[in-house]
């Protein structure tokens, strides 16, 4: 059987549709991998919500994402969805899971190889599951977001669809924040930069921490600092068209940061904290600036003219496109298939 015809199951989360209408980084990546593999000739089945959009075969038992329909019990949806994929494991040559620690508990119950992309460790409390299945096949989305002792086969950076983000040749006037409204993402630091610089700020994203929003964001909203709510791709592009720079002043190490690549794809420079994967996604002095505090971010604002917006997009095309990501996963898949083939050969020779 040709490698191009091998059957791959992509297990996407069901919090949101794949691809998501607005927020949903894991669903975005799972969908991009499915589309990229189909374009390169693989036989792909996407396990996702029934309203998902894909050129792959769609297999669904959940109608809508539980974050989009609050009548759905998340745990019931998740385990119906995950078990469905593993009950069909024999139909596939490989299951590529984007379902965090929960799907790991099924991996030893099937003969089909399973690859898990770890999109981040949400809590220390989930680590016993990873430790139990430490010998499973893992991929990290950045070199900086790895846990010791796990069987990592590679790092494969996330890839985006550049066609969704038109190039913005000329800079706008606004500072832009785009992401979860949560202390981890440093919205309050973006507000501080805006107030100290006197530049207008547009804030977009879902509110994940209402108390933080009410205490650290809402009191500072006015005609200059505006919260525009969650945005879809068109909304992101409206923001990028008006953006002088994207501020990503994260307070904890970033796992990957899709929005960094999306902004750069549109030609928008990024000022980000020098934490976690920001060092891998942003070329310091080339596609933006890595900083350690608000004052350094203010100084970086004065250097934005040094950034070549064409170079921002080119770097994304080379390193963070769907094509580059899928090529990386193809190498991992072949590694797994080759290892399985060698095991079968040793078994054949033994008998």
Give me the residue label for tokens 């899971």.
97
Structural domains of the chain sorted by starting position, each given as residue range(s) with its CATH number in brackets: 3-159+321-350 (3.40.50.2000), 162-319 (3.40.50.2000)
pTM of the entire structure? 0.92
Question: Are the C-beta atoms of 39 and 56 separated by less than 8 Å?
Answer: no
Give me the residue label for tokens 């108390």.
211
Print pLDDT tens along the chain (351 aa). 444 579 999 999 999 999 999 889 999 999 999 999 999 999 999 999 999 999 999 999 999 999 999 999 999 999 999 999 999 999 999 999 999 999 999 999 999 999 999 999 988 999 999 999 999 999 999 999 999 999 999 999 999 999 999 999 999 999 999 999 999 999 999 999 999 999 999 999 999 999 999 999 999 999 999 999 999 999 999 999 999 999 999 999 999 999 999 999 999 999 999 999 999 999 999 999 999 999 999 999 999 999 999 999 999 999 999 999 999 999 999 999 998 666 655 555 555
What torsion, rounded to 10 degrees, do the Cα atoms 23, 186, 312, 21 define? 10
Q: How far apart are CA 166 and CA 170, in angstroms?
A: 12
């Amino acid at each position: 059987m040709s490698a191009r015809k091998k059957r791959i199951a992509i297990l996407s989360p069901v919090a949101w549709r794949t691809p998501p209408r607005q927020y949903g980084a894991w669903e975005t990546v799972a969908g991009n991998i499915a589309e990229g593999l189909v374009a390169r000739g693989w036989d792909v089945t996407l396990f996702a919500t029934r309203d998902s959009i894909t050129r792959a075969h769609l297999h669904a038992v959940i109608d809508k994402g539980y974050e989009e329909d609050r009548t759905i019990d998340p745990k019931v949806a998740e385990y119906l969805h995950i078990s469905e994929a593993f009950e069909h494991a024999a139909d596939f040559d490989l299951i590529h899971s984007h379902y965090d620690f929960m799907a790991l508990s099924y991996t030893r119950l099937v003969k089909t190889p399973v690859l898990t992309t770890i999109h981040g460790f949400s809590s220390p409390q989930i680590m016993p599951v990873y430790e139990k299945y430490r010998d499973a096949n893992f991929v990290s989305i950045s070199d900086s977001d790895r846990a010791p002792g796990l069987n990592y086969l590679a790092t494969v950076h996330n890839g985006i669809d550049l066609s969704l983000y038109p190039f913005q040749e000329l800079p706008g006037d606004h500072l832009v924040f785009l992401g979860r409204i949560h202390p981890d993402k440093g919205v309050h630091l973006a507000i501080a930069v805006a107030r100290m610089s006197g530049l207008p700020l547009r804030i977009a994203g879902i509110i994940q921490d209402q108390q933080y929003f009410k205490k650290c964001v809402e009191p500072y909203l006015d005609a200059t600092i505006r919260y525009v709510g969650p945005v879809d791709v068109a909304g992101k592009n409206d923001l990028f068209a008006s953006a002088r720079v994207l501020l990503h002043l994260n307070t904890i190490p970033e796992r990957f940061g899709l929005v960094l690549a999306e902004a750069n794809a549109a030609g928008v420079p990024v000022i980000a904290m020098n934490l976690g994967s920001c060092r891998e996604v942003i070329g310091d002095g080339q596609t933006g600036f890595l900083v350690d505090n608000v004052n350094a971010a203010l100084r970086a604002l004065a250097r934005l003219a040094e950034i070549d917006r064409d170079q921002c997009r080119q770097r994304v095309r080379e390193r963070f496109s769907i094509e580059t990501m899928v090529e990386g996963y193809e190498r991992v898949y072949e590694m797994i298939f080759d290892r399985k083939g060698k095991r079968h050969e040793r078994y054949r020779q033994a008998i």
